Structure 1
């Protein structure tokens, strides 16, 4: 939406009483299926390394700028290094069913002055993939960003060739916004980057979709979902720019 200034030129709508938002801190986010804890080498490195080893082909690391890690000391050194950074701010995803860390996620490209933040560095071990805990972790982070920190925009970016990540973004309610061509060089290869985002005015409806999907009533005694999240979030995506596979 735009308005005209005194010169008849279109300008963006005003953001009343805007002020920079707080930076995310090292806090724990607690859910029913999982919790997110500030990444810590002693508490999480060994469990994560062992969980990641279940991916024998190392596919977890294809689109990440680091990894794979051949041994626990190498991985622990990486965890020790990134656990102290403020941006990205790393979290371990601890699934209640296993009682240990099975994945990693981070807030990154944090811009409090604009109310803009990105979720990234997602590394879900086979123990976390396609499980409710993995979805709940994304909900907990998004809820923290919008409800507790008051950000305006939450981004998801991935390699344009990373089809699973692109499908996950839309399942989670992120709208496709375009491709940044030749965005960066990762591990000696070109990366075109696909951009997705959720903005604050979309959040209430998206939050309701998550809460409906995460409800105990949506899961049978066997733990299988009754209603798919993708069906709940699809109507909320910006249709005019929705990504469609060829």
Structure 2
């Protein structure tokens, strides 16, 4: 029998949100490494990671990965390093670089941003996965490690993913990682001289235990054959 959730009401009989009297603000994300089996997420340090990231991003010969980012592409390693020094060393956004454990090479980056500890809301963004990282177990593990920190370590209530509504690969990735589509904010901003309608996705804390089990099942060594190919897809693990 389906249980019907009772909608809270105030003393005037008006419907109101769930009581959160015991809620306390979350800590801000730490500038510390997140360790996985395939990759580590290290706090981004331009002097350490710029050269490796520039080389990895240069594998994208046509520059397709820069299309939906509000910056880049960069003509030189020094130009890219300067941008990192100016833009990626603060606390919001808080940038991490994805380092492949097998090679110890930086192959991508991502960040937490729009961090709201009082409301327990945080966003993942500035995701730039080089061709060396795309469609590999590292990419999935990197997103899992960031989600795990948000929910298990920091206790946030809501984790957001936003992207240009024209960016079909990003929208597919959000759904693959278990985010729910919430809608499109039309004419949300302008970048690179273009309009951007922004697609919104989220995972909330009550959904996390199921998402976590799916990620752990997919990342389990038993889910990969001798050639490193998955036996079950992440979507199958969510079922």
TM-score, with structure 1 as normaliser: 0.93
Cα pair distance change 1:232/1:16, threshold 3 Å: farther
User: Does residue 72 of structure 2 align to residue 67 of structure 1?
Assistant: yes
CA shift, 1:23, in A, is 0.6
Runs (4+) of structure 1 exceeding 6 A deviation are: none
> What whole-Å deviation, never above 9, does each CA across 1:129-172 have from its counterpart, x for those lacking one?
00000110000000000000000000000000100000000000
User: Does residue 174 of structure 2 align to residue 165 of structure 1?
Assistant: no
1:109 pairs, out of 111, 114, 134, with 114
> What whole-Å deviation, never above 9, does each CA across 1:82-133 have from its counterpart, x for those lacking one?
3321110000000113211000000000000000000000000000000000
User: Does residue 46 of structure 2 align to residue 41 of structure 1?
Assistant: yes
Matches within 5 A, 1:9-88: 9-88=14-93
Which residue number corresponds to residue 175 of structure 1? 180
User: Does residue 159 of structure 2 align to residue 154 of structure 1?
Assistant: yes
Gaps of 5+ in 1: 236-246
Q: Residue 101 of structure 1: SS of its match in structure 2?
A: strand
Q: Give the CA RMSD over aligned residues.
A: 1.0
User: Does residue 198 of structure 2 align to residue 193 of structure 1?
Assistant: yes
User: Does residue 222 of structure 2 align to residue 221 of structure 1?
Assistant: no
1:211 pairs, out of 205, 216, 219, with 216
- Whole-angstrom CA distance in 2 between matches of 1:42 and 1:224: 35
> What whole-Å deviation, never above 9, does each CA across 1:33-92 have from its counterpart, x for those lacking one?
000000011211000000100101101110000000110000010111233211100000
CA shift, 1:11, in A, is 0.3
- Whole-angstrom CA distance in 2 between matches of 1:97 and 1:78: 28
Matches within 5 A, 1:66-145: 66-145=71-150
- Whole-angstrom CA distance in 2 between matches of 1:83 and 1:194: 24
Gaps of 5+ in 2: none
Q: How many residues align?
A: 234
- Whole-angstrom CA distance in 2 between matches of 1:232 and 1:57: 34
CA shift, 1:232, in A, is 2.5
